[in-house]
Amino acid sequence: MQERWAAYSSRSLFVWLAAVPIVAGVSYALLYSLGLIGIMAEGLTLVHWQEVLTDTAFWRTLGFSLFVAAVSILLSLLLALALVLRAPQAFTRGTLSFFIYLPLSIPAIVMAFFIFQLLGKGGWLSRLSYQLGLISALEQFPDWVNDNYGIGIIVAHVIMATPFFTIFFANLYQNERLGEYLQLAATLGAKKRQRIFRVAVPVLLRRGLATVFLYFMFVMGSYEIPLLVGSQSVQMVSVRTIQRLQRYNLGDIPEAYAISVAYTVMVVILLGGLLWYNRKQMGRA
Amino acid sequence: MSRLTKIVLIGLILFPFAFLLMLSLGRQWPYPVLLPEQWSLSNWQVVLGGSEGLGNSVLLSVLLSLSVATLSTGLSFWVSRHIAYHPKREAWLSLAYFPYVFAPVILAACLQFFFIVGGLYGTFGGVLLAQLFITFPYGVIFFSSFWNERLRSMEELVKTLGGSTRQAYAKVLVPVAKGALMTCFFQLFLISWFEYGLTNLIGVGKVPTLTLRVFQYVNEANVFLAALASCLLIMPPVILLWLNRQVVFQERNI
Q: Kindly give the confidence (pLDDT) of every residue in chain A, 285 residues in length, as a single tens digit, with 9 standing for 90 and above.
A: 677 888 889 999 999 999 999 999 999 999 999 999 887 788 888 999 999 999 999 999 999 999 999 999 999 999 999 999 998 888 888 888 889 999 999 999 999 999 999 999 999 999 999 999 999 999 999 999 999 999 999 999 999 999 999 999 998 898 888 889 999 999 998 898 899 999 999 999 988 888 898 899 889 999 999 999 999 889 999 999 999 888 777 888 999 999 999 998 888 888 888 878 877 776 665
> Is A18's CB within 8 Å of B96's CB?
yes
> Is A110's CB within 8 Å of B233's CB?
yes
Q: Does residue A98 contact residue B246 with C-beta atoms inside 8 Å?
A: no
Q: Which among B13, B34, B196 has CB closest to A127?
A: B34
**CB of A282 less than 8 A from some CB of B:** no
Q: Does residue A61 contact residue A240 with C-beta atoms inside 8 Å?
A: yes
The overall longest dimension of chain B from CA atoms, in Å, is 76
For chain B, give the secondary structure using H, E and C: CCHHHHHHHHHHHHHHHHHHHHHHHECCCCCCCCCCCCECCHHHHHHHHCCCCHHHHHHHHHHHHHHHHHHHHHHHHHHHHHHHCCCCHHHHHHHHCHHHHCCHHHHHHHHHHHHHHCCCCCCHHHHHHHHHHHHHHHHHHHHHCCCCHHHHHHHHHHHHCCCCHHHHHHHHHHHHCHHHHHHHHHHHHHHHHHCCHHHHHHHCCCCCCHHHHHHHHHHCCCHHHHHHHHHHHHHHHHHHHHHHHHHHHHHHHC
Cα–Cα distance for residue pair A110/B228, rounded to 1 Å:
10
DSSP state of A104: G
Cα–Cα distance for residue pair A271/A205, rounded to 1 Å:
17
pLDDT for res B242: 85
Q: Which among A105, A241, A242 has CB closest to B238?
A: A105
pLDDT for res A85: 93
Cα–Cα distance for residue pair A99/B241, rounded to 1 Å:
10
As a whole number, mean pLDDT of residues B226-232 equals: 93
Torsion angle, CA of B104/B181/A15/B195, rounded to 10 degrees? -10
Cα–Cα distance for residue pair A18/A14, rounded to 1 Å:
6
> Is A242's CB within 8 Å of B197's CB?
yes
**B232 to chain A, minimum CA–CA distance in Å?**
10
> Is A107's CB within 8 Å of B196's CB?
yes
Backbone angles phi, psi at A231, to 5 degrees: -90, 155
> Is A90's CB within 8 Å of B1's CB?
yes
**CB of A127 less than 8 A from some CB of B:** yes
Residue of chain B with shortest Cα separation from A117: B223
Cα–Cα distance for residue pair A8/B79, rounded to 1 Å:
10
Cα–Cα distance for residue pair B110/A34, rounded to 1 Å:
14
Query: Degrees (nearest 5) of the Cα angle B94, A68, A111?
Result: 90
How are the residues of chain A apportioned to helix, strand and coil, as percentages rounded to the nearest 5? 75, 0, 25
DSSP state of A107: -
Q: Does residue B238 contact residue A134 with C-beta atoms inside 8 Å?
A: no
Say how many CA atoms lie within 13 Å of A130 toward its Cβ. Answer: 18
**CB of A238 less than 8 A from some CB of B:** yes
DSSP state of A139: G
Strand partners, B26: B39
Q: Which residues 153-182 of chain B have a CB within 8 Å of chain A?
A: 165
Q: Mutate which of B79, B121, B188, B242 to test chain A, going by most A C-beta atoms within 10 A?
A: B79
Residue A34, SS3 per DSSP? coil
Q: Which among A87, A130, A238 has CB closest to B1?
A: A87
As a whole number, mean pLDDT of residues B44-71 equals: 85
**CB of A3 less than 8 A from some CB of B:** yes
Contacts of A13 in chain B (CB under 8 A): 75, 79
> Is A18's CB within 8 Å of B214's CB?
no
As a whole number, mean pLDDT of residues B10-23 equals: 96
> Is B103's CB within 8 Å of A221's CB?
yes
Say how many CA atoms lie within 13 Å of A110 toward its Cβ. Answer: 28
Cα–Cα distance for residue pair A70/A77, rounded to 1 Å:
10
**CB of A273 less than 8 A from some CB of B:** no
Q: Who contacts A2 (Cβ-Cβ below 8 Å, separation ≥6)?
A: B165
Q: How confident is the model at residue B93 (pLDDT cuts 50, 70, 90)?
A: confident
**CB of A6 less than 8 A from some CB of B:** yes
Contacts of A171 in chain B (CB under 8 A): none
Cα–Cα distance for residue pair B57/B46, rounded to 1 Å:
12
> Is B34's CB within 8 Å of A221's CB?
no
pLDDT for res B52: 67
Residue of chain B with shortest Cα separation from A87: B1
pLDDT for res B240: 84
Strand partners, B39: B26
> Is B101's CB within 8 Å of A267's CB?
yes
Contacts of A255 in chain B (CB under 8 A): none
In angstroms, what CA-CA distances link A235 with A36, A55, B75, B200?
28, 14, 38, 19
pLDDT for res A246: 83
**CB of B22 less than 8 A from some CB of A:** no
Say how many CA atoms lie within 13 Å of A123 toward its Cβ. Answer: 21
As a whole number, mean pLDDT of residues B128-142 equals: 93
The percent of residues above 70 in pLDDT, for chain B, comes to 94
Strand partners, B207: none
Cα–Cα distance for residue pair B233/B229, rounded to 1 Å:
6
Contacts of A102 in chain B (CB under 8 A): 13-14, 17, 238, 241
**B79 to chain A, minimum CA–CA distance in Å?**
5
**CB of A274 less than 8 A from some CB of B:** no
- Long-range (24+ apart) CB contacts under 8 A made by A62-68 are A62/A237, A62/A262, A62/A263, A62/A266, A64/A150, A64/A234, A64/A235, A64/A236, A65/A220, A65/A221, A65/A236, A65/A237, A66/A220, A67/A150, A68/A150, A68/A153, A68/A154, A68/A157, A68/A219, A68/A220, A68/A226, A68/A236
Q: Which among B31, B133, B197 has CB closest to A223?
A: B197
- Buried residues in A247-273 as b, exposed as e (16+ CB within 10 A): eeeeeebbbbbbbbbbbbebbeebbee
Q: Which residues 196-215 of chain B have a CB within 8 Å of chain A?
A: 196-197, 201, 211, 214-215
**A125 to chain B, minimum CA–CA distance in Å?**
9
Q: How confident is the model at residue B195 (pLDDT cuts 50, 70, 90)?
A: very high
Q: Does residue B13 contact residue B5 with C-beta atoms inside 8 Å?
A: no
Least confident range of A183-192, A220-229, B48-57, B208-217: B48-57
